[in-house]
Amino acid sequence: MSSSKLHTLHKQLIRAFASQPSDLTTTGRLLAELKVILIETGLIFPQGEFSTKDLVIARDILEIGAFWSIRTKAVPSFDRYFSQLQTFYNDFSSVLPRSEREFPIRGLNLVRLLIQNRIADFHTTLESLPLPADELVANPFIRHPVNLERWLMEGSYSKVWNAREEAPAEEYKFFVDSLMGTIRNEIASCEEAAYESLPLKDAATLLFFRSQSEVLEFAKQRGWQIDLTRGVITFAQKGEEKIEIPKEKLIANNLVYARELEQIV
Amino acid sequence: MADVEMKDAKTKGETNSDVAAPPQSPVVEIKSNIALIERAVSTLEPRFTIRVLRSLTALRKRLDEKACWTPCPKSIPQDSTIRSSLLSWLPATPAQDESMEVDPSPSPKASSETVPETEIYFRLLILHHLLTSPSTYSAAIDLANETVRKIQSFNRRSLDPIAARVWFALERAYELGGELSDARPLFLAAQRTASLRHDDETQASLINRLLRSYLHYNLYDQADKLISKTNFPASAPNSQYARYHYYLGRIKAVQLDYTAAHTNLQQAIRRAPAPKLAPGFYQAVHKVFVVVELLMGDIPERSLFRHPVLEKALHGYFDIVKAVRTGSLSQFQNTLTLHATSFESDKTYRLVARLRQNVIKTGIRRLSLSYSRISLRDICVKLHLDSEEDAEYIVGKAIRDGVIEGRIVHEKGWMECGGQKTGFGPEVSEMFSRRIGYCLELHNQSVKAMRYPLNAHRKDLVDAEGAREREKELAKGIQEGEIDEEDALGGDF
């Protein structure tokens, strides 16, 4: 019974998702229903024997779920769908035909990790991708986050900015805003350290702001001092940190050495 | 990673100190080994078993059918089922061997029951023999599985060291003859049992097996979880520790925790046997080690690349080091593409690719040292960056990350470099305290690791007793004024 219901709902889901523009509310409702069925049939975390067809359907549903979460900007929900998909991508890779949505989703996951500044996780995930090094560069969905990470690490922020429109899939653009937020904060912290003062106009270009009011707003958030008459931002100098001798630590260390030496002699 | 290398890497730990014994024929050696094993079982002293296993690697290379088979009749009763089951694994034993061996003494104390340890040892030998030729790989897998089942049914503590080796052989069998991932559930189950039984040897071996299996399939997440969920037994042998540190180092490197990776890889190098004995492992560790050192911003020593064992293996890495040292992005990119396949097979490609930012940082640092003021345009030209705009961001980031000291003057479009840190201050004492801590730790560890012969202190006790006796007499003598105090002291010392 549940199997036939699964099939009909699955078809409805595809229809709802594929319609232009996607019917997000219906998709969400169908996904919730389908998930219940998946759990009942045990397909959400398959153990034992299942037909390839059922597994493909289950994977399909989860993939649509992942895209749907991105479109509704529900990142935690994307996270859940992605971890459920892991089983299908890794453990059933020999049984199932490769899904064409696999790399877009993997790529999206990488971008997500990047934006949340989870660089260690980003690299771990990247390392476990089932791709040789040269394909890594050839695959547009993976190349995008890999390049983003490299530019972010180097500090080539303008390249990141320019790449925002080159997203390989529609869903990637959903992350652009938060990505820009991330790099603006990065740039701002660099500016605080590297400049004593900066003309307002240049600050706007550096931070990729279009109008001065946006800069002023941003500067207020970061607590920068703005001299409006001269049109200059001055960054608060972190006065030379006084070099202090950590007395207590040194004493404690010396006591430890003395005790150890006592034991040796 | 290339198969040959991994084989080397795996064989490495088996012999930590190859005692310079005169080369014996394998048959003789196996016989004496069996005697040792029996002694170990009867005296409950695992030391003997460990000694036997230490010779395993050397022995393994010289094994042939005859060697596996000939010592059997002596140690295993003629009619026992064990014997027939063992023999069934050996392909077509030549008949004349049998007649030759049977005649000397027809009843070689057949009364003594064969200890299971001997049987398993034989199985291990046969297993290693089967692994030498591709045609018998599937037989090796069967034998390994059967042996493991047997070991688990025995559940004897004296069997543990041998069992650990059997697991290693099982992994080899699966890797050569089939899919390594198929053995993983087996390892996981056995690991649980081993930790419940406090079977440290097997546990250490199995954790390494699992880690290797995970890393083979790039499952760093799972490997990391395994490490956080298990305790590596402290009493594990050095060889297992070396591997464990190596795997840990690789995982940490992937997770960008370079300091931890560095410490672990250093430990692995220190615990590994001499480079000549286990070149594969030594090379594998150093490959990752060099990359991690570069990622930390250090330049490995030149002498490392002249080491006879490493020179050839590290060739590609040496080129990378040169590129990083000079801070030339184009040279780095060329080297990376040139050696891409070898890095890929070492599974270090992505680590090496991460070095790009280090190349840039080194370049900027060099510039900041040599110029007190340099225009962004020149930086851009010298470092082969794409645009001035990029240069400004990159320099800004370098300043924030503390790579260089300086300021950007945006209006004039140049960078002003500040003075370098003097290198004196609290950091120095911190560095010293770390090193001193390490030395003290080393000393304490070596004191703990010392072995003393049993009851040796009794003699000292007697001596001390005698000395006390004499002292008493002396004191009495002095009191009575018979001996002059000066004399007594001079005589005594």
φ, ψ of residue B132 in degrees (nearest 5): -80, -20
Q: Which residues contact A159 (CB under 8 A, 6 or more apart)?
A: A147, A151, B386, B390
Token readout for A92 is 């059933």
- The H or E element that residue B470 is part of is helix B456-480
How far does chain B reach from its first CA to its final CA, in angstroms? 65
Domain limits for position B376? 359-417
What local confidence, expressed as pLDDT, does residue B351 receive?
85
Chain B touched by A244 (CB under 8 Å): yes
State the pLDDT at residue A114: 84
Average pLDDT over residues B72-85: 59
Closest residue by Cα to residue A61 from A9, A23, A109: A9
Asked if residue B173 lies in contact with residue B166, where contact means CB atoms within 8 angstroms, the answer is no
- Residue A187 contacts B where some CB pair is shorter than 8 Å: yes
B405 near B421, Cβ under 8 Å?
A: yes
pLDDT of residue B22 exceeding 70, the answer is: no
Q: What are phi and psi of A257, to 5 degrees?
A: -60, -45
Which residue out of B410, B430, B432, B444 would a mutagenesis test of the A interface target, given it has the greatest number of A Cβ atoms within 10 Å?
Answer: B410
Burial class (CB in 10 A: 0-12, 13-18, 19+), B340: middle
Is residue B200 included in any domain, yes or no? no
Euclidean distance between CA atoms B309 and B316, whole angstroms? 15
Q: Residue B23's pLDDT is what?
A: 53
Contact B344 A260 (CB under 8 A): no
A126 touches chain B (CB under 8 A): yes
- Of A14-18, A26-30, B94-98, B288-292, the least confident: B94-98
pLDDT at position B217:
81
Residue B250 lies in a domain: no
Q: What's residue B248's pLDDT?
A: 92
The Cα–Cα gap between A127 and B439 comes to 36
Round to whole Å and give the CA distance between B158 and B320.
49
Q: Grade residue B188 by pLDDT with cuts at 50, 70 and 90.
A: confident
Angle of helix B238-254 relative to helix A119-127, nearest 10 degrees? 110
Quick check: B393 and A150 CB within 8 A? no
Mutate to test the interface with B, among A119, A134, A154, A249 (most CBs of B within 10 A): A154
Provide the number of structural domains found in chain B.
2
The verdict on a CB contact (< 8 Å) between B397 and A190 is yes
CB contact B6 to A (< 8 Å): no
- Residues B360, B354 contacting (CB under 8 angstroms): no
Q: Do A194 and B411 touch (CB under 8 A)?
A: no
CA angle, A121 then B265 then B400, to 5°: 50
How does pLDDT run across B428-482, given as a tens digit for each residue? 788 888 888 888 888 888 888 887 777 767 777 778 888 888 888 888 877 777 6
Map tokens 């599985």 to a residue. Answer: B145
Beta strand B414-417 pairing with B406-409: antiparallel
Tens digits of residue pLDDT in B111-121: 345 677 777 77
Q: Hey, is A158 helix, strand or coil?
A: helix
Beta-bridged to residue B406, according to DSSP, are: B417
pLDDT at B483: 56
DSSP state of B451: -
* Chain B partners within 8 Å of A198 (Cβ): 410
Place of tokens 């490392």: B304
- Enumerate the residues of chain A whose CB falls inside 8 A of the CB of residue B411: 199
Q: Which residues of chain A have pLDDT under 70?
A: 1-3, 19-23, 42-50, 131-136, 236-244
- CA nearest to A109, candidates A127, A88, A126: A126
How far are the Cα atoms of B227, B317, B339, B383 from residue B335, in angstroms, in the given order?
A: 35, 9, 6, 16
Neighbours of B417 (CB within 10 A): 21
Read off the pLDDT band of B420 (50, 70, 90): low
Averaged over B423-428, what is the pLDDT? 69
User: Quick check: is B71 in a domain?
Assistant: yes
Name which of A134, A195, A243 is nearest B410 (Cβ-Cβ): A195
Q: At which of B178, B196, B226 does a domain end? A: B178
| Nearest by CB: A191 against B396, B406, B425 | B396
Q: What are the chain B neighbours of A120 within 8 Å (beta carbons)?
A: 255-257
Q: Is residue B192 part of a domain?
A: no
Q: Does B147 fall in a domain?
A: yes
Touching check for B442 and chain A: CB below 8 Å? no
What interface predicted TM-score (ipTM) does this complex get? Answer: 0.72
pLDDT greater than 80 at residue B130: no
Residue B140 domain flag: yes
Residue B146 has pLDDT above 60, yes or no: yes
Q: How far apart are CA B237 and CA B47, in angstroms?
A: 12
Domain boundary among B129, B150, B178: B178
Domains, chain A: 2-196 (1.25.40.990), 197-265 (no CATH)
Residue B208 within any structural domain of the chain: no
Report the pLDDT averaged over residues B273-298: 86
Buried b / exposed e along B244-273 (16+ C-beta atoms within 10 A) = bbbbbbbbbbbbbbbebbbbbbbbbbebbb
Q: Which helix (H) or strand (E) holds A132?
A: none
- CB count within 10 Å of CB A61 equals 25
Average pLDDT across chain B, whole number: 75
Provide the shortest C-alpha distance from residue A173 to chain B (in Å): 23
Q: Is residue B310 part of a domain?
A: no
A186/B397 Cβ within 8 A = yes
Tell me, what's the pLDDT at B247?
A: 93
CATH of the domain at B363: 1.10.10.10
pLDDT digits (tens, 9 = 90+) for A66-106: 888 887 777 888 888 888 888 777 777 777 777 777 888 88
Say which residue the tokens 């409702």 belong to: A29
Q: Of B417, B435, B462, which closes a domain?
A: B417
- The two counts, helices (H) then strands (E), for chain A are 13, 3
pLDDT at B491: 47
pLDDT at A79: 85
B397 by Cβ neighbours in 10 Å (0-12 / 13-18 / 19+) ranks as buried
Q: What's the confidence (pLDDT) of residue B101?
A: 40
pLDDT at residue B107 tops 70: no
Tell me if B407 and A158 make a contact (CB, 8 A cut-off). Answer: no
